[in-house]
Amino acid sequence: MSFAEHAAAPAGAPPNAPQDAPPAHPPVRFLDRATPPHIATLVAMAALSALAMNMFLPSMPGIARWFGADYALIQLAVSGYLAVTGVLQLVIGPLSDRYGRRPVALTAFAIFTLASIGCVLAPNVETFLAFRGLQGAVAAGMVLSRAIVRDLHEPAAAASMIGYVTMGMSLAPMASPMLGGLLEELFGWQANFLVMAALGAATLALAWADLGETNRAPSPSLLAQARGYPELVRSQRFWGYALVTAFTSGAFFAFLGGAPFVASVMLGMEPARLGFYFGFIALGYLAGNFVTGRVARRAGIDRMLIWGTTLTLAAVALPPILYAAGLRHPMAIFGPLLAVGLGNGLTMPNAMAGFLSVRPHLAGAASGLGGALMIGGGAALAATTGALLGPETGPYPLLLMMLGASAMALVCTLWVLRVSRRKGPVGAEP
């Protein structure tokens, strides 16, 4: 099924759907709050989350100079932000299972918009970092777009749909670092956060007009949602899929935490040029998600995982070899990231569909807990990478951290395949 067909097709389950298929929903009508959201709205929600993550990355050295702070402290704008979003995802998922996807999304986008303005007006680095943490509310866009897809589709179709959503949203991390670097050179780093505020307000307006409620069976209480977490934690399959996403994204977040330092200090790159190279991994991710959208229904999510994690590991192994061989051109480090992004695009939508489908009635909680593991692991790796890097270390802490995380993603994928051989495909276990 093509991207356009996904957008236009009724969201109800097809005939002979598996037992874990979601209940029928009315056909999608754009800008109609009485129907499920259009795919464009889901893309915008997810894209804002991705944009908020890395649009300002080329400006990090400039922000450090503005506040007279160490780079390691400003790096908390990445690792601390990831930690906050990881914690918030534990709350966002259950709240949306209890009160609905729509009210939680609208509240989160409003908080993000105000926090973006706060970053611009911050008088000191502590206030800036506090408002940067509040920007983490935008994680609702990623959490809820996944949960909404699982509300509407069975596992293989959900993987395909998530692939299309993340394909569209991957344009944000591809373009936003380039835009962010250009904005800083023209207007200063504050322009990045003013643009984020404007985009937050626009996404809030779009969600208000189009985001119909898809949670047809809300939980009776938050306590019932809390009791659902042990059910997820006891599932080996949930842990397998969730850890695949955690380690795969961990390699990417380690890159986010360390690449600006490597590029500016060791390779002497200016912000706009760094933004251009950041686009490589996003371009690969775009291609990988397109392949997932086209192939996941036929290949199945587990086969897509083995393809993606194997490709990622092979690509991540190349930069340290090239750098050790004496190649100091930025392409030696950033060039292979195109294949890394491709592997991630094959891996992430399928792993997400997997952990969302282990317990379909807990899709919001699963999205939150799985996302928290993904973001929390990423925060730890980003912080560790930033702490280990120094002028005397070369890029090796960054490159080896990415290599180790990618290897663990492949190990977890093999574990998932073992569980699937024993228990059958996802959704088959009681």
One-letter amino acid identity for 155? P
More confident residue, 53 or 117: 117
Q: Is residue 196 part of a domain?
A: yes
Beta carbons of 56 and 77 less than 8 angstroms apart: yes
Q: Is residue 124 part of a domain?
A: yes
More confident residue, 115 or 14: 115
Structural domain harbouring 171: 34-423
Q: Report the pLDDT averaged over residues 129-145.
A: 90
Question: What is the pLDDT of the chain when averaged over all its residues?
Answer: 81
Q: Report the pLDDT averaged over residues 183-194.
A: 90
Domain count within the chain: 1
- What was the pLDDT predicted at 156? 63
Give residue 168's pLDDT band: very low, low, confident or very high (50, 70, 90): low
More confident residue, 151 or 206: 206
Which CATH number belongs to the domain containing residue 86 in this structure?
1.20.1250.20
One-letter amino acid identity for 336? P
- What was the pLDDT predicted at 5? 44
Give residue 191's pLDDT band: very low, low, confident or very high (50, 70, 90): very high
Q: Is residue 45 part of a domain?
A: yes
Q: Is residue 44 part of a domain?
A: yes
Ordered alpha helix ranges (H), 234-362: 236-261, 271-299, 301-316, 318-324, 330-334, 337-357
Q: Is residue 13 part of a domain?
A: no
Phi-psi region of 69 (alpha: psi -120 to 50; beta: other; left: phi over 0): beta
Q: Is residue 430 part of a domain?
A: no
How far apart CA 227 and CA 34 sit, in angstroms, is: 31
Three-state SS sequence of 12-74: CCCCCCCCCCCCCCCCCCCCCCCCCCCHHHHHHHHHHHHHHHHCCHHHHHHHHHHHCCCHHHH
- What was the pLDDT predicted at 8? 43
Q: Report the pLDDT averaged over residues 72-79.
A: 79
Q: Is residue 10 part of a domain?
A: no
Query: Is the pTM here over 0.85, yes or no?
Result: no
Q: Is residue 4 part of a domain?
A: no
Encode pLDDT of 16-58 as tens digits. 344 445 556 667 788 888 888 888 898 899 889 878 877 888 8
Beta carbons of 239 and 376 less than 8 angstroms apart: no
More confident residue, 108 or 295: 108
